[in-house]
């Protein structure tokens, strides 16, 4: 039986929640809230565990973790958030779109977020250096890098029309569209916006890109897309569509290009922060960590398959090239 199925069965049978039993045994409990799926985030949860370990904590030995995965269905997040708050976990880790819901749900449980958006703009913290309250976390450069991804793809693929794939349920969509449209106007390009919120939408989106005669595709930042990096890379190759995403996992799976910060590094920092909080630090005293390092990755094998010649100017700027 899968762990999450076991948890559901225990709760459904009226048994005491695992969080309560762990707390009764004197073991702190971390609530881990994510809009994506466990299978697609294994690398990042492993990085989170490494951060915890460096702070002196190991799941099952001296700390318990209650995982709540929305499996790409953002509508489940409010209920999952409420479950963790009602369980009175000791620290709540909230990723991306789950972070504002976590903040709205509790003013007492410490919250550590990982996010690719401006936490001040969304009201998570009033100040990065002195967050105050019960919320702190780690940000990765993400939404603000959208225009740069557009420029990089434009440098490689000479086309007047590009498509932008977004998850309409993501609260950052307005900001993403605003940034991209501004960049497109500067480059004299047209950007067509497509939406996908589930697996069935992905294949349809690629079909639409071809029908609209777009010459390239930008995949917007979203946890659901991150868990589908391999599928998105495969669809890009199948439809011969030059595409760019934010994380290297997309290129490692066969995608053309990626440009962004390391999500694994963000989760590692989050694990460190959770460990510090469990040892007594207050979120109000922990500055929001900002990941400012970005990396460009190019898959030359995929480029050749698409009939593209990658300019030497791009290759020399790349942090990693797959031959």
pLDDT in tens, 138-160: 998 776 788 899 999 999 998 88
Q: What is the pLDDT of residue 195?
A: 94
Q: Which of 177, 157, 174, 227 is nearest to 197 (CA)?
A: 227
pLDDT > 70 fraction of the chain, expressed in percent and rounded? 92
Mean pLDDT of the chain: 89
| Contacts of 96 by beta carbon, 8 Å cutoff, 6+ apart | 34, 35, 114, 115, 116, 117, 170, 222, 223
pLDDT at 320 over 90: yes
Helix residue ranges per DSSP H, the chain: 3-12, 18-24, 42-54, 77-86, 98-105, 146-156, 173-187, 199-211, 223-227, 229-238, 248-252, 263-278, 300-305, 312-317
Q: What is the pLDDT of residue 203?
A: 93
What are φ and ψ of residue 118, in 5° steps?
-75, 110
Helix residue ranges per DSSP H, 87-228: 98-105, 146-156, 173-187, 199-211, 223-227
pLDDT per residue as tens digits for the range 182-234: 888 888 889 999 999 988 899 999 999 989 999 999 999 888 898 899 999 99
- ∠ CA 101-104-106, rounded to 5°: 110
Task: Say how many residues make up the chain.
Answer: 323
Q: What is the pLDDT of residue 116?
A: 82
pLDDT at 60 over 90: yes
pLDDT > 90 fraction of the chain, expressed in percent and rounded? 68
Stretch 54-76: mean pLDDT, rounded? 95
| Contacts of 292 by beta carbon, 8 Å cutoff, 6+ apart | 141, 261
Tokens of 86: 């009602």
Residue 174: CB atoms within 10 Å: 10
């Amino acid at each position: 039986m899968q762990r999450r199925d076991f948890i559901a069965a225990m709760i459904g049978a009226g048994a005491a929640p695992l969080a309560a039993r762990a707390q009764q045994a004197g073991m702190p409990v971390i609530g881990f809230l994510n809009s994506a799926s466990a299978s697609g985030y294994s690398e990042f949860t492993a990085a989170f565990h490494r951060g915890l370990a460096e702070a002196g904590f190991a799941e099952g030995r001296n700390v318990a973790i209650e995982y709540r995965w929305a499996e790409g269905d953002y509508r489940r997040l409010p209920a999952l958030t409420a479950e963790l708050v009602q369980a009175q976990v000791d620290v709540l880790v909230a990723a991306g779109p789950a972070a504002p819901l976590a903040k709205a749900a509790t003013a007492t449980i410490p919250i550590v977020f990982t996010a690719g958006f401006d936490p001040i703009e969304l009201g998570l913290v009033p100040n990065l250096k002195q967050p105050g309250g019960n919320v702190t976390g780690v940000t990765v450069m993400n939404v603000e890098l959208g225009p740069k991804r557009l420029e990089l793809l434009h440098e490689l693929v000479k086309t007047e029309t590009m498509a932008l794939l977004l998850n309409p349920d993501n609260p950052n969509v307005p900001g993403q569209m605003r940034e991209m449209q501004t960049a497109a106007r500067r480059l004299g390009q047209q950007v067509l916006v497509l939406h996908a919120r589930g697996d069935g939408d992905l294949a349809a989106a690629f079909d639409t890109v071809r029908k609209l005669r777009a010459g390239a595709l930008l995949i917007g930042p979203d946890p659901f897309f991150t868990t589908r990096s391999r599928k998105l890379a495969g669809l890009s190759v199948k439809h011969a569509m030059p595409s760019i995403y934010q994380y290297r996992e997309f290129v490692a799976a066969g995608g053309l290009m990626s440009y962004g910060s390391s999500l694994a590094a963000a989760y590692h920092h989050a694990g460190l922060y959770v460990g510090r909080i469990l040892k007594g630090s207050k979120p109000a005293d922990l500055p929001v960590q900002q990941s400012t390092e970005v990396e460009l990755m190019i898959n030359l094998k995929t480029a050749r398959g698409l009939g593209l010649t990658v300019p030497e100017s791009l290759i020399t700027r790349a942090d990693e090239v797959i031959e």
